[in-house]
């Protein structure tokens, strides 16, 4: 396993594609130092490396570029509201403040059953269900009818789409330069962490706590711009 740890971090230094590492990781067998180091390695691969340098800049840019969007102002997911035997349903999990959906009286936890007369039905897995509703709303006329279930009561709402998230763009835009500088700066810190991991991989027992603390601090720093942007988004959402 020590060779595995050294190999995985050495490869990171050479910028090997992240996905290759996941295929090499064996199943965890217990809380041994080797296994804990493996967890550190995979946390870095999936939760730190993609968020630093130009890859991180592009990821944040894509998040910000999503706004504003044309819609009715809801967030939704597919879930079962009862037991595993109950059907999957598309459930409204949040509303944009002052959006058409919020103003019309739609509530969180309402279940969407039809979009402009087109019934919503989910397969057993439900993988495509939320996306199909999103596509139906996008393709509906500017003004359309959304039907939901609230408890056992079926309700219909006539909604007119509008631009959602203009304020998010206004607030996030001036911060982008600072966020991008921060993200690029973290690339050096990330490379230094990888170097220390490789150097200490031969002494797993004594160095694990130090590396774990360093990774936690690095992860917090790397995620700072993304967390700040999410705070802006959340300030405009009413979540259930």
Helix (H, G, I), strand (E, B) or coil at 75: strand
Q: What is the pLDDT of residues 154-172, one digit of tens each?
A: 999 999 999 999 999 999 9
**pLDDT at position 205, please?**
63
DSSP per residue over 184-236, as a string?
HHHHHHHHHHHHHHHHHGGGHHHHHHHHHHHHHHHHHHHHHHHHHHHHHHHTT
Give the Cα separation of 104 and 92 in Å (integer).
14
**pLDDT at position 127, please?**
66
- Return left, alpha or beta for 190; rule: phi > 0 is left, psi -120 to 50 is alpha, else beta: alpha
Give the Cα separation of 7 and 9 in Å (integer).
6
**pLDDT at position 71, please?**
96
Identify the CA nearest to 39 among candidates 76, 16, 15, 8.
8
Could you say which residues of the chain have pLDDT below 50? 1-2, 4-6, 10-31
The answer to whether residues 194 and 12 touch, using CB atoms and an 8 Å cutoff, is yes
Q: What is the pLDDT of residues 114-134, one digit of tens each?
A: 999 999 988 766 668 899 999
Paired residues of 144 in beta bridges: 159
**pLDDT at position 125, please?**
66
**pLDDT at position 203, please?**
66
Please give the C-alpha separations between residue 83 and each of 86, 111, 125, in angstroms, as whole numbers.
5, 16, 15
- Return left, alpha or beta for 166; rule: phi > 0 is left, psi -120 to 50 is alpha, else beta: alpha
The answer to whether residues 56 and 176 touch, using CB atoms and an 8 Å cutoff, is no
Paired residues of 91 in beta bridges: 77, 111
**pLDDT at position 22, please?**
38
Identify the CA nearest to 40 among candidates 225, 187, 224, 200.
200
């Amino acid at each position: 396993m020590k060779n595995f740890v050294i190999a995985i971090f050495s490869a990171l230094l050479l910028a090997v594609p992240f996905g290759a590492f996941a295929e090499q990781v064996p199943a965890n067998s217990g809380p041994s130092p080797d296994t804990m180091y493996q967890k550190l390695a995979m946390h870095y691969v999936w939760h730190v490396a993609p968020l630093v340098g130009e890859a991180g800049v592009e990821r944040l840019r894509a998040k910000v570029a999503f706004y504003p969007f044309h819609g009715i102002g809801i967030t939704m997911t597919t879930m079962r509201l009862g037991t595993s035997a109950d059907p999957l349903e598309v459930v409204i999990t949040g509303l944009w403040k002052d959006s058409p959906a919020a103003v019309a009286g739609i509530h969180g936890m309402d279940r969407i059953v039809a979009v402009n007369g087109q019934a919503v039905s989910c397969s057993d897995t439900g993988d495509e269900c939320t996306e199909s509703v999103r596509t139906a709303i996008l393709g509906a006329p500017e003004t359309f009818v959304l039907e939901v279930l609230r408890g056992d009561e079926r309700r219909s709402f006539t909604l007119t789409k509008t631009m959602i998230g203009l304020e998010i763009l206004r607030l996030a835009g001036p911060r982008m330069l600072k966020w991008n500088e921060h993200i690029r700066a973290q690339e050096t810190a990330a490379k230094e962490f990888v170097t220390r991991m490789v150097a200490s991989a031969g002494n797993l027992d004594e160095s694990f706590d130090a590396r774990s603390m360093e990774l936690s601090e690095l992860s917090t720093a790397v995620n700072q711009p993304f967390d700040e942007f999410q705070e802006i988004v959340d300030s405009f959402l009413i979540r259930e």
